[in-house]
Chains A and B, each alone.
Chain A
């Protein structure tokens, strides 16, 4: 089945630093999505990408849909303490788009030191 490799697994950074994480797949995806999950809560959608090469921003967050359609990147600029959490990438394959099925990576855990 489809698998997503998300890296790095964890990051420890200083407040104010920029963060970069990525996700790769052996399969082509039509949609890439990035979510953030805080302890005790469900994932919250940050950014959705629908077109190869697309670059989309949401405040200090920027994500890109890779040209090959097999990868995606998320950057966070000028990190702040509330950025702490687990970031998940998710993809939807060609047959999954209408059904809404998403394949998730195993997450990048971000720790921000004040």
Chain B
């Protein structure tokens, strides 16, 4: 049973560039959420995708955008990168319903912006 997979695991970008991160959810899951985790802090909710639509969004600017594909996989795009965007980006999958809060996380994509 494949868990949540993310790619790439590490990447380095410079200010102003754009980045795309990818996520495949756990088998059988239909919902994907993205979180940003800065060093020494807990994950911060970016947004969630279900049925190929953004359902809820955290306090992140429009530079952060996403997409969900028919096979439930998802992408996170960040434009005009800032130094402060350096963080671990976590993808989490879940199922709608009573257990919607039970998130299964991938290992994350560590982004460094220089």
Contacts and interface: CB of A to CB of B under 8 A. Distances in A.
Nearest to A109: B40
Contacts of A106: 40-42
Contacts of A102: 43, 45, 101, 103
Interface of B: 4, 31, 33, 35, 40-45, 48, 55-56, 58-59, 90, 92, 94, 96, 98-108
Contacts of B44: 104
Given A42-B107, A43-B105, A100 B59 contact: no
B43 to A, nearest CB: 5
Interface residues of A, number: 29
* Most central of A92, A97, A101 by chain B CB within 10 Å: A101
Interface stretch (A44-52, A59-67, A68-76, A77-85): A44-52
- The binding surface of chain B is classed by DSSP as loop
Report, nearest first, the 3 A-B pairs whose CB atoms are least far apart: A42-B105, A104-B42, A99-B56
Nearest to A4: B42
Contact of B33 (A4, A41, A45, A101): A101
